[in-house]
Structure 1
């Protein structure tokens, strides 16, 4: 049955800006004051349209073929990487929280308190290599290369530790499987690069595999909520055999007539399938599949909904042609040729070739002594043209999928200017969605905004223009307040008042060296920032008691160049009982109180990866083993070495180059521990 939902388009065409790089050397510098106010505007990514399903497989194939013709995005499936999202967690009175800030027993239950995984939303569990149960901990192998990248790929072993004696934990069992872990009751779910597997761990000494399902897709996000496993799977679309869409290797696919797509053109490079499953049996409850783009930038999951966002860029060739058509610099002959090109159905590369030829021919007709100045004027004019339209040229589509028991449905879609950093750039509070974005289309001066959206995902209000020339490095929403850090050469820390969704307000700004990649609210109107300054790990405590005048209460630069906290909030541990936090580094783990006084340093042979508290003992994990520290004396009391995964057991891959994605590269997954760095 063909259904449609009238909504704001969630996906729009994305161009590969790289096609313009060569042209920029000749043309993209542009005129200072030559932009005609009536210049032709390029197509934008914000037109109203419908999201609907296909009438037939032929319609699906035709749509994909047309959409991909101009796309230079590499297609195909690929191994698992966890896009879930990145960094931070807290407990607030209203809902978006984490068990660590609450202080109580955490998620382990029983008489002995045991810490939970750091999560964004209370009641929504996130996958990590460390999971805690009642007097039991599960820890998956990882392998490191330079820059801090950790491999969690299904090879190796997940160790099961008995912590009934908190001072002396013991290895009591294990699973010959490794990856990201989720725990619900006596079921441990392991998410690896080619499968999702459920194990019965009621008998910790003899875990038993209960179910397993193979994957043809990447796991972008996984969550556990109300006893249900929710997966977001990304899969490349090929024209060879596109129907049905088969994210699993051994389960029926999704008929192409059940796939959602936007009414307007999109690059249609991937499908996204949101699946609800029973973690104990692996049975599938429901799924929703829709065409999307590889420019998936963030996933935010609440107890009732899944929000997916997509970076949408107006194609560079279209933007540049629109600018040239409105430019008074070009002569009549050039404009006639541009009008002719506008009627042609060309690929992006072909259009850019023609546009370069138009500009070269125009320059050749000009006096030789004027050509350099004209070229410069054209370049500066283009920059001004793009800067004035930047919020139309770079936008994020948002789709909300609601969960009602075991059922999933596409509920609403919307869009905002710019691109979100990660899951922490989105937050739902009292019926309002808040989203922080960086607006930085190629050729424009970057700025940063916060938008508020109602239940229909219509924009209610905005606070704009933070950190000109910079981009967002971290975000934290806390009730009616938001904290935003932007960075280029310094670290502006912003406080925002969101109590009136129709009128968000930037209250205060503080500038300091370095940047904060991770924000974590502490008690007493203080916010902890973990980041970097001059290539070294930096911890900062911000005093936000006066939101209009935030100050630095404490600051400390460590003798360390890397911390897993910069890549994943799961590596951060806050123990409210002892008012300390754990900061893993390449040399070992630091323990600081909330005044940044060092309480302990736990040395590890390999980089420290995770920590947990059990009773009044701190467990510090590395790939080599576990060190137990008494939180009353801060002295080590026991060690538990781990057997290493042998070289024969794991094929050594080529390490990924530790660099950030460019403006038109796919945003790299953030549940995996990638090296930290800006997006540009």
Structure 2
């Protein structure tokens, strides 16, 4: 076969996968793009993955050390993309990068005083400080989560836009707004979330820092902007004269927060500029009060972020903060002792560079004729040849091998090579698609990095994680694509150092995790494809095992404990459509009985609405109110008329959307609809603000939407009062 025929064959193969592209590159390039190095295990059957480094946690001793480290990794990565990433960089072009100066001198090793924690309540107040009241629905007892509304036994605090509204909610008959003030925040920004602790209110919002800088070797000043996350501590002991005590800011955007006792923990994220990084700083008003130490790992990542964890005692005004340069923080989980930060693994640039070589030697070469394999081994072992010469000889050998083959034999070989590549790349995905877990010990506000670990797959949400004693449990979904798709779910048990000590893999093949809930020594897991498998998994030992499962139509997207033998599931109903597929329907509430773990059963199911019905609980657990003692469950519902009659007497009529709350009585035998509380029932667009929440004080149920608070008796839901708290057209007092 002449060279033209060979090139034509290669072009035909290119459509079936990356091997065609690989061969085309070999046939048109006289020298390799990078030095050719044969891996030590070039002809082994094992899969070489060596990108971990020592994983030793290190601390930068100076700003220059950090800057040099980043520039070194960036230069190497830029070179890789010039060689392997057509379209990203071309020789002679420069990369446009923001260049900024370090805001303050480095001051490594300086520590701020550490706060002391106080015991926290369990989230439901009864008896000791009547009247009893509910608080935010959280995942972990004694670990509060931020929300746009908080309440105590008398007042409710709501943030929306730039406004804080304080409502004297109890008694309901005389409920009134006692304060509505605006905070002077940047235009377009909103007050995001709040914590309430006795007479302290903590508010988070974002702003931007503006600075002048001159680019390297330039002369004209330019502007650069970076995100700041503010922690505002207010004294609300005098409700009508709330005062700002502290306004702290941290470089980076708000990611998440928790509160344990008197200590608020904030996680903020700032992107890293490799050439002139802006270090995260802590400011009080405009004054810099701390520059956190910056920690890193010795294995370069493809994308870096400064993940800053700040611990603030809101009563003692003590603050501690550390920055970890790693991938951007994703889902977090916090116990009373530890913070776990997770994200999907980003492999460094060098991994892909090595992978192409490994793929050739571990997937392609073993399929070639044995004589060709032997000659490749001889060439790569010849110490008299440099790397470029070796590669040229290998390329010529491959072309000669293909040119001497009959067409049918060559086609079969290419099919075998493509199949080997497919299997190899599937193994690569299984090794690389992982969730990274970082563990930071809290120790009453004294932050200390503890361990790093990895598990295969991806997380659904925070409820996929749990800490029990010195064990960390995590549920993931593994999904790999290629010539075939692999989908299954896993449960892993890690020790205190985040080393894997137990696993249960390949649960519910071809299905995704839709909800998870750890309760003591059990995990309740819901997966879905056409029906809802509800799994009960034993975690009493380091070897997880499935105790039982239940298959029913629909699926649960949120699981909540009722008691040790019953679990509430909230999700969607489903039915088979006319084409044989699965169609989602209304919101489904189910009560599962797990008394007999080998045979879990469905005690009761309630279906709300049809297609077009939705609930915020499906995406935000804080929207649900459940109290076992009062036997009440309240969830927000929006019901869009999915099959309206659009024309009446020739006129178009917009479909209505009902928004409000469904309130159920709950006991171990199931649900009883107590009633519906309507907040709006209108057509067309309606601003609906942050969301909807329920809480109770004493025997009154409070339901809150964007502009309305309704107060109903828990006993029979008769309306006691209602209050609008937005857009009254009056002047808004701004705090100085």
Which of the five TM-score ranges fits, normalised by the shorter chain?
A: 0.7 to 0.9
In the alignment, which residue of structure 1 is the partner of 2:661? 589
In 2: Cα distance, 1:481 partner to 1:97 partner: 25
The reply to whether residue 568 of structure 1 matches residue 620 of structure 2 is yes
Structure 2 counterpart of 1:537: 587
Superposed displacement of residue 391, structure 1: 4.5
Give the corresponding residue for 2:335.
302
Q: Distance in 1 between matches of 2:401 and 2:707?
A: 66
Question: What is the aligned partner in structure 2 of residue 289 from structure 1?
Answer: 323
Local SS of the residue matching 1:468: coil
1:464 offset after TM fit, Å? 1.5
Bigger Rg, which one: 2
Alignment match of 2:201 (pick from 188, 192, 195): 188
Shift of 1:389: 5.6
Shift in Å, 1:47: 5.6
Cα deviation for residue 130 of structure 1 reads 1.2
Aligned match of 1:16:
none
Q: CA deviation at 1:70?
A: 4.1
For residues 364 and 602 of structure 1, the distance between their equivalents in structure 2, rounded to whole angstroms, comes to 78
Question: Which residues of 2 match residues 652-667 of structure 1 at below 5 A?
Answer: none
Q: Helix, strand or coil: the match of 1:385?
A: helix
Partner secondary structure for residue 424 of structure 1: helix
Instruction: Extract unaligned runs of 5+ from structure 2.
Output: 1-12, 21-41, 82-87, 89-95, 100-118, 184-190, 208-229, 389-396, 574-583, 639-658, 681-685
Deviation for aligned residue 1:61: 2.2
For structure 1, the residue ranges without an aligned partner over 5 or more in a row are 1-22, 31-35, 78-95, 142-154, 346-357, 650-680
Q: Give the structure 1 partner of residue 448 of structure 2.
A: 409
Compute the displacement of 1:162 (Å).
0.9
Q: Secondary structure at the match of 1:503?
A: coil
Match of 2:71 in 1: 65
What per-residue deviation string (whole Å, max 9, x for no partner) do you get for residues 531-589 of structure 1? 22305322222221222222222223322532111222111110223312111122211
Match of 1:229 in 2: 264
1:479 aligns with 2:520: yes
**Which of residues 167, 170, 173 is equivalent to 1:164?**
170
Paired with 1:632 and 1:413, the residues of 2 have a C-alpha distance of 50
Structure 2 equivalent of residue 133 of structure 1: 152
Distance (Å, rounded) in 2 between the aligned partners of 1:126 and 1:318: 43
What does residue 220 of structure 1 align with? Answer: 255
Q: Which of 618-627 and 243-252 deviates more?
A: 243-252
Q: 1:522 — aligned with what?
A: 562
Measured in 2, the distance between the counterparts of 1:320 and 1:359 equals 17
- TM-score normalised to structure 2 length: 0.69
- Counterpart of 2:126 in structure 1 is 105
On the 8 A contact 2:368/2:413 being kept in 1, the answer is no
Q: 2: distance between equivalents of 1:495 and 1:24?
A: 47
* Structure showing greater relative contact order (alpha-carbon pairs closer than 8 Å, 6 or more residues apart): 1
User: What residue in structure 1 maps to residue 716 of structure 2?
Assistant: 633
For the 8 Å contact 2:438–2:452, the answer to whether it is kept is yes
Check 1:219–1:497 CA distance in 2 against 1; reply closer, same or farther (3 A cut).
Answer: same
> In structure 2, what is the equivalent of residue 447 of structure 1?
488
Q: Does residue 277 of structure 2 align to residue 242 of structure 1?
A: yes
What is aligned with 1:652?
none
2:589 aligned counterpart, secondary structure: strand
Normalising by the residue count of structure 1, what TM-score does the alignment of the two structures yield? 0.74
Alignment length (residue pairs): 568
Partner of 1:323: 359
3-state DSSP class of the match of 2:147? Answer: coil
Q: Distance in 2 between matches of 1:186 and 1:610?
A: 22
> How has the CA–CA distance of structure 1 residues 465 and 200 changed in structure 2, closer, same or farther, with 3 Å as cutoff?
same
Q: 1:447, CA displacement in angstroms?
A: 2.1
Whether the 8 Å CA contact 1:198–1:212 is kept in 2: the answer is yes
1:335–1:537: structure 2 CA closer, same or farther, 3 Å change rule? Answer: farther
Distance 1:434 1:187 in 2: 34
For the 8 Å contact 2:465–2:472, the answer to whether it is kept is: yes
Contact 1:590–1:600 (8 Å) recurs in 2: yes
